[in-house]
Structure 1
Amino acid sequence: MLFSRPKTELVTPERALRGREDYEFPVPETHYVTGRPIKPPFPEGYQQAVFGLGCFWGAEEIFWQEPGVWTTAVGYTGGVTPHPDYEEVCSGMTGHTEAVLVVFDPDETTYAAIVAKFFEVHDPTQGMRQGNDVGTQYRSGIYYADEAQRAIAEQAKAVFSAKLEELGYGRVTTEIAPLREFYYAEGYHQQYLAKNPNGYRCHSTTGVTFPLEKLA
């Protein structure tokens, strides 16, 4: 009966998998494409953003190509199970969503611009799925590092919600929550589409451009 719950229902903390004290799988130190570190410490003054927007393979590929982005990594966040592995996250019993860590140079881009790209490249109205990928691990989420990021995330969600409403789309379901921990995914997931160019990409976008000029 452990897994007898809908794939779109978040597991409660008391039913979540226990996890482990540390990683039991290798995580690379450097980015397969850029050769830069994917783990801290990062260059002084650089900022981090963490998002969930469906399958993290295609999501990471989008962000590592963005101007001003220094490095990226994929992992799991938003749940309760410490140091989960991929199979555990896919079971829906960790509470985590597949996530992308984006490290950027604030002299070349802004957190607002990164958040705007986040909203443009997936469909934030789909709840616990993206396209054919169904489950709590595919939910839309922004996981903020501080109050400045939270304020921008909340404003961006309101702006894009209004834009989508004008165009007849449903309610934006993006979760906005503090970043408690980002657990790196297994090495084979990191920069997966650079290693497997014909691999799976899920981009269930609305096709709507984010009105970045409306963010303060």
Structure 2
Amino acid sequence: MLFQRNKTEMPTVETALPGRATALPTAAEHVLFGRALKGPYPAGLESAMFGMGCFWGAERKFWQLGAGIWVTAVGYAGGFTPNATYEEVCTGRTGHAEVVLVVFDPRTISYGTLLKTFWESHDPTQGMRQGNDVGTQYRSGIYIFSDAQRQAAEASRASYQERLTAAGYGPITTEIVPAPAFYFAEEDHQQYLAKVPHGYCGLGGTGIACALPTGVTAAG
């Protein structure tokens, strides 16, 4: 993405940019779904969060799943700088990853389907980069909201690693950690590829299908 600084080393809390106490202005509604981006969300819905490189293309992968996806939003998470701007994240001095928040109805679409989309839509073996996008903000991550999500994420990682290894790929570098604070990105970035259909998308999968392990279903 623009303003990339190729920073591949995580800052520390001492070296990170200070940020600000006030949240950045962002869109009120999802461009495609017409629903409140920040909620409140209906009862019974669940949240998922993923980092898989440039968040423009990553968000599109999830809204394209259609039925069961209530809202998607892009933002910053996993770093030290509160309410960082896009330009600050791109310096490599916030520690944040570009992430997608997915609010979904588990009665219609499963968390397993989201995991399958995550694994197949990027190369999770690349460390602090994704294709030509290089830096800590492009690292691969699954940020979990429950023990059930953790178990499913870890099982799917082990299963996908077997397939990748058989195809000649190295170790998966995806971090699986409790969901950190999510900071909504600026309005221009929300559903960017819906507003700019031919805009930049640096995502590229391995071409290896993800077979979900026993107990992790792709059904709604």
TM-score normalised to the size of structure 1?
0.94
Once residues 210 and 86 of structure 2 are traced to their aligned partners in structure 1, the CA distance between those partners, rounded to angstroms, is 32
Q: Give CA-to-partner distance per residue, 1:45-100, whole Å, 9 cap, x none.
A: 10110000000001111110104211100000011111101011001111100000
* 1:29 Cα deviation from its structure 2 partner: 1.6
SS across alignment from 1:212: coil
The question of whether the paired residues in 2 share the 8 Å contact of 1:156 and 1:215 is answered with no
The structure-2 alpha-carbon separation of the partners of 1:206 and 1:94, relative to structure 1 and needing over 3 Å to count, comes to same
Counterpart in the other structure of 1:191: 191
Indicate yes or no: 2:117 matched with 1:123: no
Question: Equivalent residues in 2 for 1:29-40 (5 A)?
Answer: 29-40=28-39
Q: Distance in 2 between the 1:159 and 1:9 partners?
A: 28
Unpaired runs of at least 5, structure 1:
none
Cα distance, 1:212 vs structure 2: 2.1
Within 5 Å, give how 1:5-16 maps onto structure 2.
7-16=7-16
Partner in structure 2 of residue 162 of structure 1 = 162
Tell me which amino acid in the other structure corresponds to 1:50: M
Q: How many residues align?
A: 211
Map 1:53-132 to 2 at 5 A.
53-67=52-66, 68-132=68-132
1:44 matches 2:43: yes
* Structure-2 change in CA distance of 1:133 and 1:139 (3 Å): same
Deviation for aligned residue 1:22: 1.4
Contact persistence 1:112–1:215 (CA under 8 A): no
The separation in 1 between residues aligned to 2:157 and 2:213, in whole angstroms, is 14
- Measure, in 2, the Cα distance between the counterparts of 1:36 and 1:60: 16
Please give the residue correspondences for 1:131-210 in structure 2 after superposition, counting only pairs within 5 Å. Answer: 131-210=131-210
Give every structure 1 segment of 4 or more consecutive aligned residues whose post-TM-superposition deviation is greater than 6 Å.
Answer: none
Q: Equivalents in 2 of 1:180, 1:212: separation in Å?
A: 25
Offset at residue 215 of structure 1 (A): 4.5
Q: Separation in 2 of the partners of 1:52 and 1:151?
A: 18
Q: Deviations over 1:112-136 (max 9, x none)?
A: 2111110010000010000000000
Aligned to 2:25: 26
Q: Over aligned residues, Cα RMSD in angstroms?
A: 1.4
CA distance in 1: counterparts of 2:204 and 2:30, whole angstroms: 26
Q: How far apart are residue 146 of structure 1 and its match? A: 1.6
Which residue identity is paired with 1:129? R
Of all paired residues, the percent bearing the same amino acid is 55
Structure 2 letter corresponding to 1:199: G
Distance in 1, matches of 2:131 and 2:17, equals 26
Distance 2:185 2:215 in 1: 32
Output the TM-score relative to the length of structure 2: 0.92
Q: Classify the secondary structure of the residue corresponding to 2:71.
A: strand
- Answer yes or no: is the 8 Å Cα contact 2:112–2:152 preserved in 1: yes
- SS of residue paired to 2:40: coil
